[in-house]
Chain A
Amino acid sequence: MTDAPIAHRHLPDRLDNPLRSAVLSWESLLVLVVVGIFIINSFASPYFLNAWSLSDLTFNFTEKGLIALAMALLIISGEIDLSVASIIALASTLMGLALQYGADTSTLVAIGVGVGVLCGAFNGALVTGLKLPSIVVTIGTMSLFRGISYIILGDGSFKDYPKSFAWFGQGYVWWVISFELVLFLAFSLAYFVLLHRTSFGRRVYAIGNNEVAAKFSGVRVERIKFILFCLTGVMSGIAAVLLTARLGSTRPSIAKGMELEAITMVVLGGVSILGGAGSIIGVVLAALIIGLVTFGLGLLNVPGTVMTIFTGALLIVVIALPILFKMWRQRT
């Protein structure tokens, strides 16, 4: 019965040597891919190996990476949030609206992050409170949030954000290191500690592996899932601030398709879409890979739509290769 959908749990005789399991892990594969793409990019375009060029590279993946960090925790717990890009749109639109009423930079940031939290809480309330499947709820809120942005803005745009606000997306902290990169690295560290070094993180894994067992073990499943949805909302709000500051304008179509890119980063990073497995290091490496690929293709003047072929193909190939490898090994 080769097609039997029964999970095979493998109980080994003895545990792997820690060094061996570290070397043969998904993260090591990702490191190899990063190095490989870096080398390919260096040969493909003369403009790549340049400090300012590499700095521009970071703008490509930091906003999506921030969302991917929170999304990773959410997917590990067994849920999903497809509305993140629409939360960005709504947060950006409301920030622009506040700008029309003369809000200053700190108010704008507060509004952006605040809207993110509220939208995340809305998602969380529907999923945990009414026990609805997260995929359809977030498909619904995806349309709803972006729809509200369209109602407010129509086909216009908000412009003229203040210079101090623009610094968030365009500013540099030291030499070529941009603020966005620093923020991304700081949050990566924070999420690493949250997921891998706290009991909260252990509980997230527990929920993802067996929700009912977790509940009967005393894990407050509903509360943790609600917190994770709010975290995703917060990160989307922060990404909205960064993106709006970088672009300098707001349209209702802002960040279209970003949810798929964030999920691609998460899945590429080794997080199982079914929940229960994955690491932050993988997600950060995957964000870097996607950034390298899109930046490298951009330097070669490849149009955006063709770039997405590479991202889509990369996702399928990287997931399929280990499975094919295992199948080939079992044959011989």
Chain B
Amino acid sequence: MKMLAKYREIWLGLAILLVLVLVTARFPRFAQPTNLLSIFNDTSILMMLALGQMAVILTRSIDLSMASNLALTGMIVAMTNASFPAVPVPLLMAMCLVVGGLLGAFNGILVWKLSIPPIVVTLGTLTIYRGMVFVLSGGAWVNAAQMSPEFIGLQRSIFLGLPVLSWMAIIVAALFYVLMTRTPLGRAHYAIGVNPTASVYTGINVGFTKFMAFTIAGAIAGLCGYLWVSRYVIASVEVASGYELTIIAACVIGGVSIAGGIGTVAGVVLGALFLGVINSALPVINISPFWQMAISGTAILLAVVLNARGEQRKGRLILKKAEAST
């Protein structure tokens, strides 16, 4: 079981390959390159969201409001596009980053300055943001007819063989890798997750780092708001309803520890891909989509059991609660 901890990403990669092999044995067309690329494309949004959530979970927090953030930003940008079709799409994407970042920063400020536990803050903002979608739109939808062709088409356009959406996921993953492993801010995330008290004495500003984690997660959720709305060509109150659990599932399956401090970009990407492969395989094997929820629930439970086995250290951690309470 200790091997599992060291080579978690390899085991996860093997699990994905196993699923692919099992499905392809019965349905050879599943392993065709176009299909595999399509699965990657479908999973791109989940990948980016899971990376944002990883930053938050690393600092011993949790962000339940990402899906509502996504819905609100998506609705804002869709309504802007419907009313002002001439606004260039890259500008709309920048607007998404800013709006999403502000929504995430609101979470961050409450956690930093008022020391309110993140689960309480994001529980509140989850409902507030979702409600604001309704208030903004009056319950109406924005559908394909109202969106400009560039709005819908940008992420579908192919560049060097891959859709722009897949490229965005690759770029975000690469940026995240650099952020987490090569910058002081990224290292601070890991430090706070493992030992917040020691981090304070090392000179790391714990509150500010948590604030940045929430802002980054919010900005990514905002960007994914645009991507979701243009991919599924709908902006409504129900967008991404309940998706926050799928995001956390991808993180947990990818080896991110809910206690903070443990998690890698590669693991999260593979965790998201695992869920994506299973979701794509279900219609192929003719299992009704109603099985999806139960399967992802079981996947989470299995992942948690396996992760926990790998994390257990010898000896008693008597001061663990003292650290957790700081």
Contact = CB atoms under 8 A, between A and B. Distances in A.
Interface of A: 1, 3-7, 80, 126, 130-133, 135-137, 139-148, 150-151, 154-155, 210-212, 256, 260, 263-264, 267, 273-274, 303, 305-309, 311-313, 315-316, 319-320, 323-324
Contact of A267 (B120, B131, B208, B295): B120
Interface string B169-192: 000000000000000000000000
B258 A309 contact: no
Contacts of A131: 308, 312
Nearest to A313: B128
A3 B208 CA distance: 9
A323 B112 CA distance: 12
B152 to A, nearest CB: 26
A256 B242 CA distance: 9
Nearest to B139: A303
Contact of B123 (A130, A137, A315, A323): A315
- Chain A to chain B: the 10 pairs with minimum beta-carbon distance, closest first: A147-B294, A143-B297, A144-B297, A309-B131, A147-B293, A312-B127, A140-B300, A308-B127, A316-B124, A140-B301
Interface of B: 62, 110, 112, 114-117, 119-121, 123-128, 130-135, 139, 196-197, 200, 205-208, 237, 242, 245, 248-249, 252, 258-259, 288, 290-298, 300-301, 304-305, 308, 312, 318, 320-321, 325-326
Given A3-B200, A5-B197, A324 B301 contact: no
B304 A137 contact: yes
A309 B237 CA distance: 13
B293 A143 contact: yes
A312 B308 contact: no
Contact of A320 (B114, B197, B296): B114
Contacts of B112: 3
Contact of B321 (A135, A211, A263, A306): A211
A264 B110 CA distance: 17
B304 A132 contact: yes
Contacts of A145: 297
Given A212-B318, A308-B130, A316 B110 contact: yes
B120 A319 contact: yes
A137 B197 CA distance: 27
A305 B208 contact: no
A4 B200 contact: yes
B133 to A, nearest CB: 8
B154 to A, nearest CB: 30
B319 to A, nearest CB: 9
Contacts of B320: 212
A324 B245 CA distance: 31
A273 to B, nearest CB: 5
Given A143-B249, A316-B116, A323-B115, A151 B294 contact: yes
19 contacts: A6-B197, A126-B301, A135-B62, A140-B300, A143-B300, A144-B301, A147-B294, A148-B294, A150-B293, A267-B123, A273-B117, A273-B120, A309-B132, A312-B124, A313-B124, A316-B116, A316-B124, A323-B114, A323-B115
B23 to A, nearest CB: 20
Contacts of B114: 320, 323-324
A132 B305 contact: yes
Given A132-B308, A137-B304, A144-B301, A3 B205 contact: yes
A131 B119 CA distance: 21
A306 B131 contact: yes
Contacts of B295: 147
Contact of B126 (A1, A80, A260): A260
A25 to B, nearest CB: 20
A143 B244 CA distance: 12
Contact of B196 (A5, A148, A256): A5
A150 B295 CA distance: 11
A260 to B, nearest CB: 6
Contacts of A137: 301, 304
A146 B293 contact: yes
A308 B68 CA distance: 12
Contacts of B298: 140, 144
Contact of A3 (B126, B207, B304): B207
B248 A139 contact: yes
Given A154-B288, A212-B318, A264-B124, 11 more contacts: A3-B207, A5-B206, A6-B326, A80-B119, A139-B245, A154-B290, A260-B123, A303-B134, A306-B131, A319-B116, A323-B114
Nearest to B117: A273
A144 B249 CA distance: 12
Contacts of B133: 305
B196 to A, nearest CB: 5
Contacts of A155: 290
A211 B325 CA distance: 12
B281 to A, nearest CB: 16
Contacts of B305: 126, 130, 132
A136 B290 contact: no
Nearest to B127: A312
B205 A150 contact: no
